[in-house]
Amino acid sequence: MSGQSYTPNQALNSQSGRNFKIAIVYAQWHSSYMSVLIEGCKKNLVHFGVEPDNIFLQSVPGSFELISASNHIANSKSFDAIICFGILIKGETAHFEYICQGVTQGISQLNASQKTPIIFGVITAHNEQQVVDRCGGKHGHKGEEAAIAAIEMALLVEKIKAI
């Protein structure tokens, strides 16, 4: 799958997210790359109709804290989707594996237990180049892709509620 990027649902248009409120929760680590993810995400949310005032940004100390913050935000029932951004780069200890596993499982459990879709925008990389490749490089822009996924999932929930 090298070099492939996410293709949005063809039914999306500039009004698809018009009534949605989206929360973006992000870890404070790797701020230069994180700002690229967030800006790409916000740009795409607005492109698909989300009003800038309906985009809520919240930083957390690290990727592990994405779970708690997302849970509290979902419990508020104020948002149509939550996007979680974190960047984890492998170091010399097993810490990377533990955090990757914990964050992945935590966000997965939230998706199974919460009614608000929670989008996994956590980049796990063995080196900095892999992060660059996912922040607008050869593997796409994970921030832009997360925005599309959030709108698609919010639309799905809206569709199911209307049945």
Cα radius of gyration rounded to whole Å, the chain: 15
Q: Could you give the CA distance from residue 137 to residue 117 in angstroms, rounded to a whole number? A: 27
Please confirm, yes or no, whether 141 is among the known catalytic residues.
Answer: no
Residue the block writes with tokens 């309906």: 54
* Catalytic, out of 95, 126, 139, 141: 95
Count of residues making up the chain: 163
User: Residue 59 in 3-state DSSP?
Assistant: strand
Q: Could you give the CA distance from residue 102 to residue 115 in angstroms, rounded to a whole number? A: 21
Residue 31's H or E segment, with its range, is helix 31-47
How would you classify residue 91: left for phi > 0, otherwise alpha for psi between -120 and 50, otherwise beta? beta
Angle, vertex CA 144, rays to CA 107 and CA 86, nearest 5: 35
Q: Could you give the CA distance from residue 73 to residue 110 in angstroms, rounded to a whole number? A: 11
Q: What is the set of active-site residues?
A: 95
